[in-house]
Amino acid sequence: MELRTQSLSTPSNWKRYTLVNDNGMEVTCLNYGGIITKILAPDQHNHFENVVLGYKNEQDYLHNPNFFGALIGRVAGRIQNSTFSIDGTTYELDANEGPNHLHGGANGFDRVIWDVEPFEESDKVGLTLTHTSPDGEGGYPGTVQVQVTYTLTNDNQLQITYDAQSDKKTALTLTNHSYFNLSGDLKQDILHHDVTIDSSHVVELDDTLIPTGNKLEVEGTVFDFRNGRQLKDGVSSSHPQNQYAGNGYDHNFIFDKYKQHDIVVRDETSGRQLTVDTEQPGFVMYTSNNLDESLQLSEGVSKKYLGVCLETQGSPASLEHQGFPSIVLDKDQPYRYTTTFTFGVIEK
């Protein structure tokens, strides 16, 4: 195991951390936003390439409207009209996407300089990131103590554990916003990635991407990934939900928890396989339908459908609608969820 730390000259308070396991797999991230900038994972020939989207110039993360690799909070997703109520009290949030509140607002956790403590053991290496979000920040109630742990193991697993506690009842659901592309070094888009999702229901969106409160059965639609399907199916679909999302997916899938893994992503050309297992009740899959086509990334220029986000989280729909697992955190209640990303190869 190896852990490398480097202070950046610009911006002066930024640090880069690289976790390396005994197999040669690497995960690189910044203390700014907890941003994962690079993941080097092996293909079927044990050739290591980058499998996430990241900027060529790290200074570009200062303006990161696509949230490449970032930690998201306090609430991942969209909150309608930037308001929610708890116990009869209404809280006005920062509106940063039209009238709505997205991913914690204009000064969310993706813009925080996190305190970082590296750790290294015989079979794992990692980082513990901590941050205190003060009462009223972004409009949210409660001072929230947040700890996020990135752990890289010799099983080629990246485990992300989210811990938090608030001194007031508040809303909280955290995630990581990495864009995955298993082709390696962005050689291809993700449209031919084959995805299996253990989910029979998806959260319906209106034409502004706000949850309606309805859960749609995936049976017979391009949202049925239970037996695997390619992401291109949603791009070419005439389903209104795909149209609303900009010809693709930007939807919260609710896990059934029947299968061995919550999500499996495969790229036949490289032979790479990514499995995702989480304690969260669902996740948002976003197929970069609206990705700016002029960004300078590590391996080339950005374009639509270049990465797929697998944002494990609770649904903000629970703040407005019944029938969803709550994202309200009681005073002094421990918040703890772990998501494990396992990088392997397709078994022939």
- Residue 10: pLDDT above 90? no
DSSP state of 332: T
pLDDT bracket for residue 9 (50, 70, 90) = confident
Q: CA quadruple 35, 26, 300, 12: dihedral positive or negative?
A: positive
| Structure confidence by residue, pLDDT tens digits, 68-110 | 999 999 999 999 999 999 999 999 999 999 999 999 999 999 9
What would you report as the CA-atom Rg of the chain, rounded to the nearest whole angstrom?
Answer: 19
- pLDDT at position 288 over 90: yes
Beta-bridge partners for 171: 328
- 236 has a pLDDT exceeding 90: yes
Task: Let me know: does 122 contact 138? Beta carbons within 8 Å.
Answer: no
Q: Look at residue 12 in the predicted model and tell me its pLDDT.
A: 84
Count CB-CB contacts under 10 A for residue 42: 21
Active site residue 193: no
Give catalytic status of residue 58 as yes or no.
Answer: no
Structure confidence at residue 20 (pLDDT): 98
Query: Average pLDDT of the chain?
Result: 97
**For residues 294 and 209, what is the distance between their CA atoms, to the nearest angstrom?**
24
In tens, the pLDDT along 168-203 reads 999 999 999 999 999 999 999 999 999 999 999 999
Tell me how far apart the alpha carbons of residues 210 and 204 are, in angstroms, rounded to a whole number. Answer: 8
Q: What is the DSSP string of 224-242?
A: --TT-EETHHHHS---HHH
Q: How confident is the model at residue 35 (pLDDT cuts 50, 70, 90)?
A: very high
For 240, phi then psi, to 5°, come to -55, -35
Domains assigned to the chain: 2-345 (2.70.98.10)
pLDDT of 348 > 80? The answer is: no
1 touches 122 (CB < 8 A): yes
Q: What is the mean pLDDT of residues 199-222?
A: 97
User: Rounded to whole angstroms, how far apart are CA atoms 273 and 83?
Assistant: 39
Hey, CA dihedral for 145, 285, 52, 122, is it positive or negative?
positive
The order of strands in the sheet holding 282-286 is 179-180, 308-313, 282-286, 250-255, 199-205, 211-217
- Global pTM exceeds 0.85: yes
Give me 269's structure tokens: 């050309």
Given 103, 177, 193, 251, the catalytic residue: 177
Q: What is the pLDDT of residues 42-58, one digit of tens each?
A: 999 999 999 999 999 99
- The burial class, CB within 10 Å (0-12 / 13-18 / 19+), for 6 is exposed
- Residue tagged active-site, from 49, 58, 137, 311: 311
What is the rounded distance in angstroms from the CA atom of residue 264 to the CA atom of residue 136? 38
CA distance 27 to 18: 6
